[in-house]
């Protein structure tokens, strides 16, 4: 058995890549675990402007539920500009969507309200079997 001894006891110039590969594999595993956990936001449905603005669309096709700020008390509720008490919202919406094939509702809330009032209306809409609930913003309202 022959062994080759170097010219001296000097340091070697080779790079040890094993620690770099270990770090790369750990980072790869971390990213693989984190990516599927990323939260998905709320699907927003916004009304689209009509393709032909000269054609008049029927008003009963689109249901807009407004949550109106009344000063300091409880918010007021309107379905297509018709006042409705909160206790009757579920019954009214269930009656409206009972015979509809397209179950789409838009919610329009005042700026001064807490989001909890809007969330309550969304929950009532889901309980009335509304499939798609969209939120109206001031930019969308300006296009009307």
The pLDDT tens digits for 63-92 are 888 888 887 778 888 988 888 988 889 999
Give 58's strand partners: none
> Given this structure, which CATH class describes domain 63-142?
alpha beta
**Model confidence at 120: pLDDT above 70:** yes
Give 134's strand partners: 106
Q: Look up residue 1 and give its DSSP letter.
A: -
The pLDDT tens digits for 6-17 are 565 667 677 788
* 57 to 88, 92, 126: CA distances (angstroms): 27, 23, 26
- The residues near 50 (Cβ < 8 Å, ≥ 6 apart) are 57
Report the alpha-carbon distance of residue 64 to residue 81 in Å, rounded: 8
């Amino acid at each position: 058995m022959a062994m080759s001894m170097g010219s001296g006891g000097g340091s070697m110039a080779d790079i040890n890549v094993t620690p770099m590969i270990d770090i790369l594999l750990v980072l790869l595993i971390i990213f693989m675990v984190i990516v599927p956990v990323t939260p998905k936001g709320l699907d927003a449905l916004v009304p689209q402007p009509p393709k032909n603005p000269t054609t008049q669309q029927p008003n009963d096709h689109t249901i807009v539920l407004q949550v109106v700020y009344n000063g300091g008390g409880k918010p007021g509720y309107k379905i297509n500009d018709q006042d409705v008490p909160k206790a009757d919202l579920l019954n009214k919406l269930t009656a409206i969507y009972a015979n509809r094939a397209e179950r789409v509702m838009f919610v329009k809330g005042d700026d001064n309200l807490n989001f909890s009032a809007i969330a309550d209306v969304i929950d009532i809409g889901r309980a009335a079997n509304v499939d798609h609930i969209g939120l109206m913003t001031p930019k969308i309202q300006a296009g009307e």
